[in-house]
Structure 1
Amino acid sequence: MPSLAQVAATGSDANLQLMLKVFPALVLILLVAGICGRIAQMVMQPRVLGEMVAGVLLGPTLFGALFPDAQATIFPPEVRPVLYVLSTIGLTLYMFLVGAGIDHGSRVPGEERRAGVLAAAGIAPSMFLGCVTGLILWSTLSRPDVSRWEFAFFVGGALSLTAFPMLARILYERGLENSPIGRLSIMAAAVDDALAWCLLALLTAVHLGAGLADALRTIVLTALFAVFMLVVVRRMLRPLGRELARTGDFGPTVMYAVILIPLTAGWLTDWIGVYSVFGGFLAGLAMPRDAMFREALHTRMMGVVSTLLLPVFFTFSGLNTELGGITGGTMVLAFLLIMAAGFSGKYFGCSLSMRAFGFSWREAYAVGALMNARGLMILIFINIGLAQGMITRELFAMLVLVAVITTAGAMPLYKLALPDRLEAARRSSDDPEPPPDVEDVSLTRSVQ
């Protein structure tokens, strides 16, 4: 019988071997993500697009196809659970920062109502067309244990998303974050994403429930937890904002709190059955709304989250993305149908809504292009669906392509609708507005 020392030594050796396998994977992930992110910026695209593409390139589509032995060595089966844990922590903290960065206020009377209409104009057509597409493709792309309507609503929910953080960054970089189209777009995108998360929570509860009673239990617990976070926890956290205003910086106690709260919330929502990102997002919404607090929060956390943890998530997604599966006439037609439904519903719905508000056609199409980008948000959505067994890898790969194409097309379509000279004229013709809030600047500088 081996001694305790021998057992401990064996365990330590196994841990060391695992660490020596994880480190090369992280080095390659960060190297490829950094290169692809820089290339994306050189061609006037957001860095996050390059990181998304990097994740796909490291998967079976390119790296695995050209160098299968090297990929198997760098990403062996025992490393993938570690990447999954790191990506889950990263997503939870990222959604925490997104929730903390949402500006709930409105500077113009009636703007919240118009933003709600714009959000509905983007969600309703996308949801309808996505559901119709899902009903048509259910027998082709769905898992056998997923009902027709569950599958249809998942496709509709994925296509109704907007990349809120990326949209905010684009508007800030172009000096339009305080323009009428900028404020409306940011507020509407936040509503879009919040409703999509609610739908995914409902679908997850229904799918994972052993029966209707379990599904209702999950839904009720999720609603109660959301109320607790947004009412009770938000009030309890107000002193953190006052403490930061008094000291001018995060102390150790505040830093522990802002790390523990989203991780604990993520753990609880995972226990409830609706995935940890929901807890992280709710924790962000519960944070103090003070501008200084939000600025300090993003300054402290976003660099590590976006530089280290999000590329791990993109790679973990890429390892599950097999674009080679989208072959043959049936699969290609299915992808084109999904792409057409997603693009037309969001683009024309938002454009017509903006035109109805009295904006020019050029401004309307510019907003339609921005609202049509799905970025990281759809990747989070479909990764949850894949992890919970709601979708197949074929549909996952198709929706990854939708994310990449709509994100890549956002800026070219925006500039086609609103060239620089017209954008500058529009910016100068806007009524003077107060300077952007510190929290808006910090979010848009840091996210994606």
Structure 2
Amino acid sequence: MNTTEVFLIAMAIIFTVPWLIWRLGRTDYWAPLVVVQIITGILLGPGVLGKAFPEFHQFVFNPAVIQSLNGVAWWAVMLFVMVAGIELDLGQAWKHRRESGITAGLALGMPLLLGSLAALVLLGRPGWVGSAALPWQFVAGVGMACAVTALPILILLMEKMHVLRQPLGQRILRYASLDDIAIWGVLALILMDWQRVGKQVFFLFAFALLAWGFRHLMHRLREADRWALALIWLAVCAFGADWSGLHYMVGAFLAGVVMDAGWFDQDRLDQLRHHVLLVIMPVFFLSTGLRTNWDVGGAAVVGAAALLLAVSVSGKLLGVHIAGRVLRWPPGEASIIGWLLQTKALIMIIFANVLLDKHIITSETFTALLLMAVASTMMTVPMVEPKLRRVRASGKASAIAG
């Protein structure tokens, strides 16, 4: 078979297997389709399918096919990160800055602290630290991975539980938006290359200048032209960030964050996010699964994932409960917010991919982080929905209305 035919076989597998698991297994309550796609990516990787059927795995996922899949995955994740940047609403966060700042700071700071302590445990053992990492980069990277909240998946889960349009849901979006800014800021700091700092400073200066002109131009265009220009802007920003030694995903986020959601019809923006998730993000999940590695031993990887999951969830819940006491929230509210904010999935996986690309972490650490992200996301709905039912049944409207 030629490369095109094998590529199409791979694409058929990528879309068929997770859909069948999701539909026939009726997993939607604890694992939405996007989570099943991530899990399937791991199962199709070298550590599972590659070990069970090495010849078939090598035939389907040969270097030429992987290169083609990676190109699709790069564009998919850039589009997704750009949309995440567009959807950040910092105006509301500024309007409620005391409450948002305290909650977002504690919700990010506690899991970051505990995650950094867990990273120190891994730091002293072989097989976890990337070849290009300084100790502080590894500790900060793993710590921040434990603190990440996946804003796009959070939106999807809150829609499912009918919380998104409620005042509580809007508050949670404010907290997650502030944390998103911090996450990408820390990532940019970790990726600062002092041997290429001149390039990076030049990129940031050029980006600020071009962003000013870009925003002025976008104000003058009709919406159809704004969509076209946004895609050009995305490619330019991603190229500039990657050329300077940051990463194309940092550029994609910057491209989105300087755009106003009001420039676009909200329904079309929602549809774009939905269609990117449906049509091309599964390829990114597969390419992510192909990067997993179990060479330090399956038990060691699962143990590291369990440690990271424990510090991630406990840190997020602890931070939000402290915020709830400071801000005097009604009983039960901190638990609901904490469990929703600990959702990981996509943004953490994107974050970990960048760390792996830059050799800050190894494939084994990446695998442990991936397992942690999947487990934390699968816990969200089963933990939150019963709490919401109890609050609604008891008539404590303030806990939902905010």
Whether these two folds match at TM > 0.5 is yes
1:119 corresponds to which letter in structure 2?
A
- Alpha-carbon distance between aligned partners in 2 of 1:234 and 1:423, rounded to the nearest angstrom: 47
Q: Could you tell me whether the CA contact under 8 Å between 1:230 and 1:282 is conserved in 2? A: no
Q: How many residues align?
A: 399
Aligned residue for 2:286?
315
Aligned residue for 1:236?
217
Rate the CA distance shift 1:227–1:17 in 2: closer, same or farther, 3 A: same
2:79 corresponds to which letter in structure 1?
L
- Alpha-carbon distance between aligned partners in 1 of 2:284 and 2:9, rounded to the nearest angstrom: 16
- Give 1:205-224 correspondences, 5 Å limit: 205=192, 209=193, 212-214=194-196, 216-224=197-205
- Alpha-carbon distance between aligned partners in 1 of 2:211 and 2:103, rounded to the nearest angstrom: 25
Correspondent of 2:41 among 55, 80, 98: 55
Deviation at 1:103, TM superposition (A): 2.5
- Give 1:363-402 correspondences, 5 Å limit: 363-402=333-372
Aligned residue for 2:233?
261
Q: Could you tell me whether the CA contact under 8 Å between 1:373 and 1:407 is conserved in 2? A: yes
- Superimposed CA distance per residue, residues 131-150 of structure 1 (whole angstroms, 9 cap, x where no aligned partner): 22222221312135422211
State yes or no: 1:287 paired with 2:272. Answer: no
Aligned residue for 1:341?
311
Aligned residue for 1:78?
64
Mean Cα deviation higher: 172-181 or 258-267: 172-181
Aligned residue for 2:97?
112
Q: Could you tell me whether the CA contact under 8 Å between 1:229 and 1:282 is conserved in 2? A: no
Deviation at 1:364, TM superposition (A): 0.8
Correspondent of 1:327 among 281, 289, 298: 298
- Give 1:144-163 correspondences, 5 Å limit: 144-163=131-150
Aligned residue for 1:296?
268
- Give 1:118-129 correspondences, 5 Å limit: 118-129=103-114
Deviation at 1:221, TM superposition (A): 3.5
Q: Report the aligned-residue RMSD.
A: 2.6
- Alpha-carbon distance between aligned partners in 1 of 2:389 and 2:400, rounded to the nearest angstrom: 17
- Alpha-carbon distance between aligned partners in 1 of 2:394 and 2:319, rounded to the nearest angstrom: 25
2:231 corresponds to which letter in structure 1?
I
Aligned residue for 2:250?
278
Alignment identity in percent?
25
Unaligned 5+ segments in structure 2 are: none
Correspondent of 2:384 among 414, 417, 440: 414
- Superimposed CA distance per residue, residues 122-171 of structure 1 (whole angstroms, 9 cap, x where no aligned partner): 11111111222222221312135422211111111111100111112222
1:200 corresponds to which letter in structure 2?
L
Aligned residue for 1:27?
12
- Secondary structure of the structure 2 residue equivalent to 1:274: coil
TM normalised by structure 2 equals 0.90
- Secondary structure of the structure 2 residue equivalent to 1:81: helix
Deviation at 1:198, TM superposition (A): 1.5
Correspondent of 2:118 among 133, 147, 159: 133
- Alpha-carbon distance between aligned partners in 1 of 2:105 and 2:379, rounded to the nearest angstrom: 22
Rate the CA distance shift 1:254–1:227 in 2: closer, same or farther, 3 A: closer
Deviation at 1:272, TM superposition (A): 1.6
Aligned residue for 1:11?
none
- Alpha-carbon distance between aligned partners in 2 of 1:144 and 1:269, rounded to the nearest angstrom: 22
Aligned residue for 2:277?
306
The structure having more radius of gyration, on CA atoms, is: 1
Deviation at 1:359, TM superposition (A): 2.0
Rate the CA distance shift 1:282–1:65 in 2: closer, same or farther, 3 A: same
Unaligned 5+ segments in structure 1 are: 1-15, 245-249, 433-448
TM normalised by structure 1 equals 0.81
